[in-house]
Amino acid sequence: MTKPLTNMQTRDVEALLHPYTNAVMHREVGAHVIERGEGVYVYDDQGRRFIEGMAGLWCCGLGFGDRELIETAQAQLEKLPYYHLFGGRSHEPAIELAEKIKDLAPGMARVFYQSSGSEANETQIKLAWYYNNAMGRPEKKKIISRVKGYHGVSIVSASLTGLPYNHKSFDLPVDRIHHTATPHHWRGAEPGESEADFSARLAREFDEMIEAEGPDTVAAFIAEPVMGAGGVIAPPEGYFEAITPVLAKHDVLCIADEVICGFGRTGEWFGHQRLGMKPNAISMAKQLTGGYVPLSAVAIDAQMAEVIERHTGEVGIFGHGFTYGGHPLGCAVGSAAIDIYRRRDIPARVRALEPEFQRRLRSYADHPLVGEARGIGLLGALELTPGGTAMFDPVGKVGPYLAMRLLEHGVILRAIGDTLAFCPPMTISEDELDQLFAPIERCLDETLHWAT
């Protein structure tokens, strides 16, 4: 028996179409309405408190209610609530934030703003095309991303995303976008194949894919240093080290999608620094503003910047830009967030918490419901299986059941299919980490009982 909907839940189902939600089921169970947040906790409209184990959607790395971010936003709204960067106009918050991004990402020369991660990746692909036109290579336009990669939901970024739900019934992916294998050793390796050998094999397959497509037609490779929404998959040993020479051999641009990994999440400022990826361009969003204001940024290296800037002179204009790209509110809050990350040395904090966080995750590896416990930095996952690497049939029932059990115990974690993802605020204390993990064993047991 489902409970009757509250007044707020009724208003919700009558007014909203929810992202990533089964609207038919939602009408039955109703919304979980969140009212406010403080630190690592959020409170719902029934007054219940939850520890936010996903930092919202991987974005509130500084938790909720940070005074400095709030006061910065207020001050910026009073001083200049809106301005744009079109036609050569500018404002100091945009300039200052770009300078700070360049400081954190050595090798990056110019920053372009938009509001979301999807738009950042959309910009990346347009830049890769513009760049190759400028280089006199109009055929070099194909993009390679990865199965289970997540790069957003707009037409091109959803095409880059390698997940079935993002394509099904949307007539995607569009052409020119191809997907190479997921670097997931546990699922993808041959029996007895080491991580290094698996990486070398994937790099060979990647090389063969480019050869088959024609190197003169392949513009760029895009990858998250650690896959997030595809199930929190850190690459096996030597993966990016093996991919990099293939990119160089075929003159293919490397785009790091740092929308989740950026700003300390893996224990370095950027995930590519931790995972040995060598990008020509970086996408960032989410933790860029601690999730408080929508803002994303694309940074490009000096070679791309030089070619693109020159080409704007030839074309007459750089015909790309968003009304809210570089919004002063987002830039001011982003700038303040970077100051906080620096002052509190958040990457070092993540490195300090990582051993205990990862030890706890892996302590569930022997539970009969857990196929793999994995993660890096303050990112983690428990992939639930009926045994080994087998998948539940149907997929996507057991994971959400576990997430629902955890909710009953005051913990918000996200089920991605049958994988439970962890991405707590990077400001979480050891005591709060205890609270986050406290109900896991019991809820795994309850879920096992329910599933069998």
- The number of angstroms, rounded, from the C-alpha of 283 to the middle of its chain's C-alpha atoms is 10
151 binds ligand PLP (CB under 6 A): yes
Q: Single out the residue of 229, 338, 370, 379 in contact with ligand PLP (rule: CB under 6 A).
A: 229
Site for ligand PLP in 50-79 (CB under 6 A): 57
Q: Single out the residue of 53, 152, 334, 371 in contact with ligand PLP (rule: CB under 6 A).
A: 152
Please list the residues that pair with 34 across neighbouring strands.
44
Q: What residue is closest to ligand PLP based on CB?
A: 117
Cβ neighbours around 5 below 10 Å, total? 17
Report strand pairing: 142-146 vs 218-223.
parallel
Nearer to ligand PLP, 91 or 151 (CB): 151
The region of 130-138, 244-252, 257-265, 350-358 touching ligand PLP under the rule CB under 6 A is: 257-265
259 binds ligand PLP (CB under 6 A): yes
Site for ligand PLP in 285-324 (CB under 6 A): 285
Nearer to ligand PLP, 259 or 415 (CB): 259
Q: Single out the residue of 41, 131, 150, 198 in contact with ligand PLP (rule: CB under 6 A).
A: 150
123 binds ligand PLP (CB under 6 A): no
Please list the residues that pair with 212 across neighbouring strands.
none
127 binds ligand PLP (CB under 6 A): no
Half-sphere exposure (CA, 13 Å, Cβ side) for 365?
12
Report strand pairing: 370-376 vs 379-384.
antiparallel
Measure the CA–CA gap between 248 and 132, rounded to whole angstroms. Answer: 15
Let me know if 362 is exposed, middle or buried by CB neighbors in 10 A (0-12, 13-18, 19+).
middle
The interface mask with ligand PLP, positions 15-54, x = CB under 6 A, is: ----------------------------------------
CB 432 within 8 A of CB 449: no
124 binds ligand PLP (CB under 6 A): no
Measure the CA–CA gap between 109 and 281, rounded to whole angstroms. Answer: 10
CB 144 within 8 A of CB 206: yes
Q: Single out the residue of 54, 260, 281, 338 in contact with ligand PLP (rule: CB under 6 A).
A: 260
Nearer to ligand PLP, 399 or 439 (CB): 399
